[in-house]
């Protein structure tokens, strides 16, 4: 778990760091495809409808998975004999994992509904679709299951104008739950690795993100990103040492 917590910081820091270059990268991007007719929000409305259908389907799948899990739990309670109990418990574990996966899919679908509705609202308010680049690099995390409100909040922390402000400092200024972490790294010297890991784990747990982001790391292919001896390099990479 401790190694996973370190990887969580890497994901957040990289996501925030990507924002440092988003402004300059957008200016060098190739010209966008011809915009839709001014005032025409048909595509946005269609996207909302599709997102809602997908969300409803995911909710139904989650409910089915929950029923399967409940049945597996009841079967385990009735099982007799060591072999039968072991087999029943295996089915419970599989069903529980399936429920967790379906819940993540529901969160992803809900995030897409929120984004689609926001795009439709912006289109209607602006008299047509907005062709300017507005996607945040952090959005990748929410596309993988992190609640959309968290990505929206983190996106607001992205520095603009080419600043090199420490992304962790920006985050600490906006998230009171991270104060313990801010206090630990404010000395300008490398904190004790064990103390750092415990504080990070506590902060993420207080935010309700520990289990969710740990799962996201595997989904993003970062499950074996770091070895146990690379904490000092990570601290330098994230700017924890000033």
pLDDT of 165? 54
Q: Would you say residue 61 has pLDDT above 80?
A: yes
Among the listed residues 180, 135, 179, 176, the one whose alpha carbon sits nearest the alpha carbon of residue 158 = 135
Domains of the chain, by residue range, sit at 1-22+136-242, 39-135
Give tens-digit pLDDT for 153-163: 666 555 555 44
Q: Would you say residue 66 has pLDDT above 80?
A: yes
Q: Would you say residue 171 has pLDDT above 80?
A: no
Q: What is the mean pLDDT of residues 178-185?
A: 71
Q: What is the pTM of this model?
A: 0.45
Give tens-digit pLDDT for 95-114: 999 999 899 889 888 888 98
């Amino acid at each position: 778990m401790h190694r996973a917590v370190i990887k969580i910081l890497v994901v957040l820091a990289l996501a925030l760091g990507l924002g440092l270059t988003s402004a300059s990268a957008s200016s060098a991007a190739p010209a966008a495809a011809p915009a839709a007719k001014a005032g025409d929000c048909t595509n946005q409305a269609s996207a909302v409808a599709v997102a809602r259908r997908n969300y409803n389907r995911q909710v139904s799948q989650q409910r089915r998975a929950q029923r399967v899990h409940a049945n597996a739990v009841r079967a385990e309670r009735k099982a007799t004999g060591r072999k039968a109990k072991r087999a029943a418990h295996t089915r419970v574990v599989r069903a529980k994992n399936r429920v967790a996966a379906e819940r993540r899919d529901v969160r992803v679908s809900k995030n897409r509904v929120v984004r689609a509705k926001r795009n439709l609202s912006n289109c209607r308010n602006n008299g047509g679709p907005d062709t300017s680049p507005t996607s945040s690099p952090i959005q990748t995390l929410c596309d993988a299951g992190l609640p959309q409100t968290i990505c929206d909040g983190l996106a607001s922390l992205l520095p603009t104008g080419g600043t090199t402000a420490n992304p962790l400092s920006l985050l600490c200024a906006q998230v009171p739950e991270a104060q313990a972490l801010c206090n630990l790294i404010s000395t300008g010297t490398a904190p004790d690795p064990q103390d750092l890991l415990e504080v990070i784990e506590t902060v993420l747990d207080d935010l309700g993100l520990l289990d969710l982001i740990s799962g996201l790391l595997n989904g993003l292919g970062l499950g074996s990103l770091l070895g146990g001896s690379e904490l000092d390099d990570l601290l330098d990479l994230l700017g924890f040492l000033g």
